[in-house]
Structure formats: structure tokens, C-alpha cells
Amino acid sequence: MTSTPTATGLPTGVWPLGPAQRALWFLDSFQPASSFYVVSMGLRVRGPLDVAALHAAWDDCVARQDALRTRFVSLDGFPYQVFMPGQRMDLPLLDVSDLDPAAAEDFVQRRCDLAAETPFDLAAEYPVRAELIRLADDHHVLVMSVHHIVFDGWSAQVLPLTPMPTLRLL
């Protein structure tokens, strides 16, 4: 990483972690392949959905929230957060509208389980990911996962999403 040092001695765009982030970074580095701190949520959308508008809103949300564009790296043995410039985020669209309803719901549940079980590499990737599943033209499920290092109880109140275990009940 090459960057200009600031008055704090850190390269530009590199910041120390807060106390809770340090604890989560330590736990993650102690067991990096763990999905224990992955928070997964889903939103079932019924009715017409403008996928391009949803993708634009997703991009805007990530662009406005530095935490969602942060990588957590070790410099000289100490953890730091590096805010990455805004860029278009992946929001894959998985279309299962050709499946019968029961098979489509099983697919959704498998994707939700996978989202909850897939750990993040905090040094190499953003701590958030999402995908959209189309069950029909007027029925979608947005699946989002985020690492707890950038997501807390207050954050959960801001998003109109439901924790994954209750997704089948929506």
C-alpha cells in the first residue's frame, strides 16, 4: 500500500479501529474462516420491482456509507480500516422464475443459508454482499449479508430487513 502519510503518521485513508471493531477484528483473525459474525437478512418484495433502480439505490447506499466500503488490514501487526473509493457493487440477479414454487422457495432458502454461512475476508473484500432472487415478475427476495464489524443493533433498525431464520415466514 503506498500513500502519503498524514499528521497521525498513517497513510491517507487509513484509520485506526474503534474498540468494538478491534475486538471483532481480533476474533475474526483468530478464526478467519468463521461465519459466526456474519449477519444475514432478507427482504421479500411483492409487486413490480425496478431492478435497475434497486441496483442504483444499493450503489448509493454503499457509496454514502464508508463502513460498507472498508477493508480491515494489518499494518506492522496492528489493525486498521481502509476506506475504498466508491464503485459499483455487485448485486447479482438470480432468476428462478422457471421453477415450480416449492423448488423456487427451496432455492431461496439454500441461498439464504449460504449467505449466512459464507465468511468474509476482511482484508480482501468489502464487509457486505447482496443478491436478488427473482421468483416471478412480481416476486423477489433481496438477500444481504454484512460482517458485524460494520453492523450493529442501531444499523439493523435502519434497514427494513428481517433476519434470515424467519425469511420463510415473510
Is-contact 125 72, C-beta < 8 A?
no
pLDDT tens for the 170 residues of the chain, in order: 444 444 455 556 788 999 999 999 999 988 988 999 998 888 999 999 999 999 998 888 888 888 888 999 998 889 999 988 877 788 999 999 999 999 999 999 999 999 999 999 999 999 999 999 999 999 999 999 999 999 876 666 665 554 444 343 33
Give residue 159's pLDDT: 59
Is-contact 164 116, C-beta < 8 A?
yes
Q: What is the DSSP letter of 5?
A: B
Residue 167: Cβ within 10 Å count: 23
Query: Which residue ranges make up each domain of the chain?
Result: 14-164
Give residue 156's pLDDT: 63
Cα separation, 146 vs 127, whole angstroms: 6
Give residue 119's pLDDT: 96
DSSP helix/strand/coil, 75: strand
Q: Which residues pair with 34 in a beta bridge?
A: none
Sheet-wide strand order for 93-95: 93-95, 128-136, 139-147, 38-46, 162-163
Cell numbers that stand for 128 in this block: 457486505
Domain 14-164 adopts which CATH fold?
A: Chloramphenicol Acetyltransferase (3.30.559)
Cell numbers that stand for 132 in this block: 436478488
Give residue 141's pLDDT: 96
